[in-house]
A and B are shown apart, each in its own frame.
Chain A
């Protein structure tokens, strides 16, 4: 992200942002950026800070105060507009960060760990705000270690491990890839178990039931095989894979960066 914003330079490879070199001013005019672990001038209040950033954004506005008041209302900070930034909580800072990212009316919002360090309520607030912006038609480029958040917000995802791209794709496809189904039966003969396993499913015998985990694509075939084989199918339920499962499968437990 630092390379894309022009803060650092790449040792190798190529990158472009909105068709321009990283750090190009024409691209930056169309980007709103929320850095990770950022800070604002502690001696300024929210209004002065946003005025400063509005000036730097180059956006011409007839009534800057009205725009700033609207943005502060969007991030629910309107009642703290006169408070010095140094007195803001972490959650308030993140929301103010989002307000400054929105100042230039950007097409693309680049958010680096927007909920890092927030409590659950603060995380929800920021997440709801991002969802609202997405609904408005803004493109959100989000970097996060909270994979449930990525799964919830993003339509496409890429998984990067130690600077290398491990997996990329549409979120639905990524999640569907690992989708499995759980079939519960009351009994299972040994011959039927072998046949089920031949279809790639696994069998887990428990105290008063037997769990069969198979690919979603095999759901119908497995169910018919079990019925005709004499097993009573008690339930069939999909098991949704999470992005976290996929990540751990691709990268490995305790070996991530």
Chain B
């Protein structure tokens, strides 16, 4: 009950957070970029270049959607880190923690609020994906649940990492660390890294870095056919998602352990 109250209130606070509004503007820009591409390519399609233009269109829509999903990572990180830091910085946490409320309950409420926000975000992008694809007249094979759950698990991981780092670091520093980690993960999936980095380094990095992408990642949503998706049995998806949630849980528990011992005052 108390966790729900904290979660509900935190979610309400998100709707008044200026940084999140700024990210909302960025979201709109990426969406409009995708929309603009769809319409411009549609006007350029002729009988002779149809196949080529459709490939271009798919590529550009994919870029817009990947940008939106990437923005989601930053949104999850900021929401999680700032939801703790801003409470301590402003002093609102004192009146709350003077109530009969465990610290873990407070943190769980915060985390649930971030997950609520990110669920809405993932569903919105899922809707935008369908919209852009149907406006572009493209066939779309991917299952709706995959478009929502895979990103959501990834956001849950980043939010837990941000919450862990946010218990002792400034949110801007947390964002920087996460941006660095995201770059490393991105680099690790490039052919150059795969070919040049020895396996004994790759293996521990794959285990240590927050990757739930070994079955499905955003960049493959558009070239994944229904048949390809079905190649993986549901147990593979379940394992991938559970692996991701497990990763999130470990960081969330670490965040609770750290938060348990830290001072709640500004000094």
Contacts and interface: CB of A to CB of B under 8 A. Distances in A.
Interface of A: 2, 5-9, 25-26, 28-29, 31, 33, 35, 37-44, 52-53, 55-58, 97, 100, 104, 110
B265 to A, nearest CB: 5
A43 B16 CA distance: 7
A46 B225 CA distance: 54
B92 A38 contact: yes
Interface string B151-189: 000000000000000000000000000000000000000
Contact of A33 (B9, B98, B102, B264): B98
Interface string B246-265: 00000000000000010111
B201 interface: no
5 closest cross-chain pairs (CB), A and B? A33-B98, A35-B94, A56-B99, A25-B100, A7-B264
A57 B261 CA distance: 22
Interface in B4-25: 5-6, 9, 12-13, 16
A42 B102 CA distance: 24
Interface string B87-102: 0001110111111111
Given A37-B266, A100-B95, 4 more contacts: A7-B94, A25-B102, A53-B99, A56-B99
Given A5-B98, A53-B99, A56-B101, A38 B91 contact: yes
B19 to A, nearest CB: 15
Given A25-B100, A29-B100, A58-B2, A7 B91 contact: no
B1 interface: yes
A98 to B, nearest CB: 11
A203 B264 CA distance: 55
A7 B1 contact: no
A9 B103 CA distance: 14
A41 B13 contact: yes
7 contacts: A28-B99, A40-B95, A43-B12, A52-B9, A57-B100, A58-B99, A100-B95
> Interface majority SS on A: helix, strand, loop or mixed?
loop
A8 B265 contact: yes
B95 A58 contact: no
B2 A97 contact: no
B259 to A, nearest CB: 12
A38 B94 contact: yes
Contacts of B101: 25, 28, 56
Contact of B5 (A6, A52, A97): A52
A57 B99 contact: yes
B113 to A, nearest CB: 13
Nearest to B15: A43
Contacts of B95: 33, 35, 38, 40, 53, 97, 100
A43 B95 CA distance: 16
Contacts of A26: 100
Given A6-B97, A25-B100, A55-B2, A39 B91 contact: yes
Contacts of A2: 263-265
Of B5, B12, B91, B95, the most chain A CB neighbours within 10 A belong to B95
A8 B6 CA distance: 21
A25 B94 CA distance: 15
Contacts of A28: 98-101
B97 to A, nearest CB: 6
A41 B92 contact: yes
A215 B111 CA distance: 65
A128 to B, nearest CB: 22
B9 A7 contact: no
B13 A43 contact: yes
A100 B91 CA distance: 15
A95 to B, nearest CB: 14
B214 to A, nearest CB: 41
